[in-house]
Structure 1
């Protein structure tokens, strides 16, 4: 029963990190609706720039925006200058240049020193920029500065709610849970006044998460249930997603309270709704494809009808004139001849393409075999070098150190300083030899096997910006070269997560099933375009693909905007 409880809690921590991040991003996204009200809607040029940005024509919009600001400065139109720079700062922000965005906000502040509404907005956006750069202390200072204008700004409850919600996230990151709870409650109250039930429910889910971190499980359960009651059984996408979050949160809370019957009940609700949401998405995709197919079919039918109508007209004219019928017949024969000739050329070209495709496949297979052979050769060399370093060089250094130690015991009186220095140099060399040996072939892998090596890799790769976890099921010891190859594949995928995903959570699952080693690697990062990756043919993924093919396995990569999931299945070598 304790093992089951631990599994629930582990899953919750991953979920809560994701959920709190989504909540903050949601508020930032909605703040863009508020930002549009700060721009001068009466200015046609500014409206044109906003339309260009909405269409994704950023370069053209930026060119026009800079020209607008320069013209406004020349005419001393301070109001338009401010509106233009506010938009410019937001454009840089949306394109990931947070430092440039904040520089523009600093320029604006002296010009709006008496406009408290705009000051509150600017400090809120500055805080968001710092938060996106993980400078949480600077973000906290700016959010608190934005809150200080509350008494001077009437209404704007929507913006105030977002400030408190983001400040709550900062306190949570700083592990100041009491202040996080206080600010979440304020943000939830604002959303309640505004009638934004879905956003209020999201905040309550985050509030319950903080209670959970404090082990106040009854308070956490109460907060999660309030979130569920707010969205009820609404059918909008946001309501369904929030209800789904509430289900799994309630399950974790009941699990922490040892009420496993209720925990499983809400866990089943979560999985059922999650499967339903996935099925709805699939239906939408199918409906879109079907719609495109129907449109294409109708266009084709219209073209066919048009062709039939033309033929009927030609035939009606031909019935009255025998000569035209004869000419038409001759013309038709000529067209058939030309068409057959064209078809013959197409058949030749098709055969050439098939032949070329086969040649390219042979080249690709040969390159893969060469790459695998190179990797295998490198693996054997690394094992030999690691063995020599560990068994021979390291042993020799240890023996040398022992001789020096024995010599020191025999010396009477003043001992030469060179002996101590030599011992230190030998010790340092031994440490470097051990480190180099471990880098060549993981000592954890050789001693304890693949499961422990992956767990060690996750622990060493985790830091303040990303947490990696491993989960192994029915994993024993396998043939050594097989373990090393699989570890190298997993290591390459982990490096891709660290370098490219911008994720804050990742999980590696290993399971032995029916003679197959199944590996699932997934993260909550930004995903990628699989077609562009294949076009670039990066050496990392090429190595992974070639190694798995050589092991007679398969790999499936599924990138989305919410993260990337990679599935690998390989026959086990014992």
Structure 2
């Protein structure tokens, strides 16, 4: 009894001693720190939080608040052990203060810290260390469910707990448990709180669990529900939610052999992915511009300070020299003025140089982002062409062949020839030929069956004519590579050959392939009219800019040598890590 009384008095004294702390100032500083965290300025935010923690006694709610924010900063830096340490300190204070809502938040964040460490640091999810982390996360999540499931407050924390548990058990392939927890989360979002984005995310997770369980009808219904619910299409978060739903629907329709729908949703998913990338790039550029403007403003302020200091210094010199002759005053003032002007000029030049360097960095970043977007678009296009070609070859062509066989059987059983049967067979044969041709145009059948060298040889034979002859030169046999790599190189060489046919007016052209030291060398030459390489427009360049971006994205080297009336030579060197 005495111990409890002393403990209560100690708490009251602690609060009394800190009653003079300005809570308005603290809230303002806390807001500033959270803004710094959201802007990814973790180091500055951490300096503030560590300083503010020391301002409050052990059992003050503001101390617990700052401890929790410090944990958030370490989580963003993937320093999970430090984050968990600060979360536990915050929880310890809140448990003594009996603040139920912040206790729930503490349990949730500690559980999430263990879960993130479990997912990020241990790819082998069945390892002993990974399972220990999983058990720790589960312990803190179950504390929330056990102690606070039936309270009227904290529904948001409870729903997030169920969502996290569903995600964790989905990773462990315990799908029944995962489905139970995600259903509980959705029930809270739909009946107790209004958080549309969180509800949509939970529904997407439920749909994905249905896919893992091969319950495609339920998965389709869930993802269509998400698409019908999402109203805001301006935020990146809403776009990502929609993109996940459309991508999963494309997969569902492919698995259920609804190929037309699968293709439609695949296109929508790729379009949304492109829009998301554009928005993210714009956000990054805006951040860089803001940093640039901040540094520029700081530099201008420094210039003003330097000028003010120089002005004060000059005035002091003039006052000190009032006893000298007029000639000395004039000479001294002139020298001082010129010196100040020279320093200001040098400082101005330095700032101009700094600004030019920052602009150069910004242009390089923009170019890299444009290159990434271009390559993402081209990758998506190649994937679509490959999937369409595969669908035409495996499904549509097979269906036409089957229809033709059925007609042949009917024809044999019919005593007298039927004109409509003959006509139907001719139409099916013609359609089969067109499907086959279209499939080969999308992806070379020779490439898929026999590899890059045979496909390039076939390309040279196909495009050669009386006016222009293509020849393949290959010193050694080129082995097979990973299929996506072969498709990319084949498309690049085909683009170069198309440029020769359209623009070079050549009579002879050659393609040389050589593999040395895990590097594929490809050289395309022609004896055509050539062109001035210094006048290539970097934004168009007869498709050359796309080819160059493609090669550079593969960490290769791309070089053009061309002179007017002296032909063109294109040299590419692409590293090959895993030849088959």
User: TM-score surpassing 0.5?
Assistant: no
The structure with higher relative contact order (CA 8 Å, sep 6+) is 1
**TM bucket, shorter chain:** 0.3 to 0.5
**Larger CA Rg, structure 1 vs 2:** 2
When normalised by structure 2's length, the TM-score is 0.44
When normalised by structure 1's length, the TM-score is 0.44
